[in-house]
Amino acid sequence: MPVPARVPPQLRETPFLASSAVAAGLVTERQLEGAAWRRLVHGVYVHRDVPVTHLLRAEAALLRLPGAVVTGRSAAALWGVELAGPEDDVELTLPPGTHMVRVVGLHTRRAALPATDVRRRHGLLVSSPAATAIRLASVLSPDSAVAAVDQLIATGVVDLETVRRRAAVGHGPGSARGRRVVALADGLAESPQETRVRLTIGRSRLPPPVAQFRVLHHGRFVARVDFAWPDRKVALEYDGLWHAEPGRFARDRRRLNALREAGWSVVFVTAADLREPAALLARIARALG
């Protein structure tokens, strides 16, 4: 829907402070109560035609608390990992000594962030990818934390060694937990589910698989599989790679046939399997012989 011409150009695409817009004569308080405007957080509005994303909410949050830095799940979202959606609260970290104000839609904390832990992303101050990984590692449940770290690495914005170096020098609450989580990350998973599969296998007595393994047959590339036991010629794939999207089914079948012709067997894992890990591990053990 196009933005009506009567809307001031300054207010068409980005969030704005109501007090500033009213003082500049761009809009009245009464108009802001109308259907043309959406309040993102207290005192910050955006035109109704602007799609609401977590990035937009983060912009609004920093207009409300300009001395803050976007951190945690919100920082992960800005770095490309979808841990926070359009309706989720924005996490902000404020400098020590800042007066804490409760604002609906914001999750705030006070902490000293070294300058090396702060970057600018989409024009906003946000914790660096490595610092974001450590923060997530210290607050999320263990498997979710490892998956989040893996996904940050998979985006290419940071590498595993950088995250581990940052974890090694961390101190304070959650730092030891952060180091344990980062030690379990490998940065190879292409989805959180793959990380969960790897961790489930890692807690078992099964031999560890090779992640993202390239299967060759007579020197020719056959396929890259999520996990493999090359000596047994057993591959494991999370079912996200095997569903019948338009145009995908035939390619997947050819790929599966090529693996079988190369002498490989494939174990498929679904989200339901992860809810019954004992049964999944037993199935893998049978495939491994």
List, in order, residues 6 or more apart from 32 with CB less than 8 Å away: 18, 22, 39, 45
pLDDT of amino acid 12: 87
Structure tokens at 164: 């581990």
The answer to whether 131 and 117 have CB atoms below 8 angstroms apart is: yes
Domains belonging to the chain, first-starting first, are 9-50 (no CATH), 55-184 (no CATH), 192-288 (3.40.960.10)
pLDDT of amino acid 249: 67
Provide the percentage of residues in the chain whose pLDDT is more than 70: 95
pLDDT tier for residue 9 given thresholds of 50, 70 and 90: confident
pLDDT of amino acid 2: 44
Round to whole Å and give the CA distance between 259 and 3. 54
- Comparing CA positions, the residue from 223, 220, 146, 222 lying closest to residue 186 is 146
pLDDT for 246 beyond 80 = no
Q: What is the mean pLDDT of the chain?
A: 92
pLDDT for 159 beyond 80 = yes
Any bridge partners for residue 213, and if so which? 225
pLDDT of amino acid 130: 96
* Least confident span in 85-89, 170-174, 215-219, 264-268: 170-174
With tokens 């259907």, the residue in question is 35
- Comparing CA positions, the residue from 131, 119, 245 lying closest to residue 178 is 131
Phi, psi angle pair for 258, to nearest 5°? -65, -40
pLDDT tier for residue 3 given thresholds of 50, 70 and 90: very low
pLDDT of amino acid 247: 62
Top-ranked range on mean pLDDT: pick from 12-16, 146-150, 190-194: 146-150
The answer to whether 227 and 236 have CB atoms below 8 angstroms apart is: yes
pLDDT for 241 beyond 70 = no
pLDDT for 220 beyond 60 = yes
pLDDT tier for residue 173 given thresholds of 50, 70 and 90: confident
pLDDT tier for residue 254 given thresholds of 50, 70 and 90: confident
The answer to whether 165 and 129 have CB atoms below 8 angstroms apart is: no
- Comparing CA positions, the residue from 81, 148, 151 lying closest to residue 121 is 81
Residue pLDDT, tens place only, 11-37: 989 999 999 999 999 999 999 999 999
State the average pLDDT over residues 247-270. Answer: 87
144 or 138, which is more confident: 144
pLDDT for 250 beyond 80 = no
Residue pLDDT, tens place only, 61-96: 999 999 999 999 999 999 999 999 999 999 999 999
Any bridge partners for residue 70, and if so which? 92, 126
With tokens 């829907």, the residue in question is 1
List, in order, residues 6 or more apart from 152 with CB less than 8 Å away: 76, 79, 81, 129, 132, 133, 136, 158, 163
* Least confident span in 30-39, 128-137, 243-252, 255-264: 243-252
Pairing, β 106-110 against β 90-94: parallel
Structure tokens at 70: 């976007």
Long-range Cβ contacts of 93-101 (<8 Å, 24+ apart): 93/68, 93/69, 93/127, 94/65, 94/67, 94/68, 95/67, 98/67, 101/65
CA 242 to chain centre: 23
pLDDT of amino acid 15: 97
pLDDT of amino acid 95: 94
Angle at 176 between CA 174 and CA 177, to 5 degrees: 65
In this structure, what is the dihedral angle of CA atoms 120, 122, 125, 127, given to the nearest 10 degrees? -70
pTM equals 0.87
CA 13 to chain centre: 26
Q: Which helix (H) or strand (E) holds 163?
A: helix 160-168
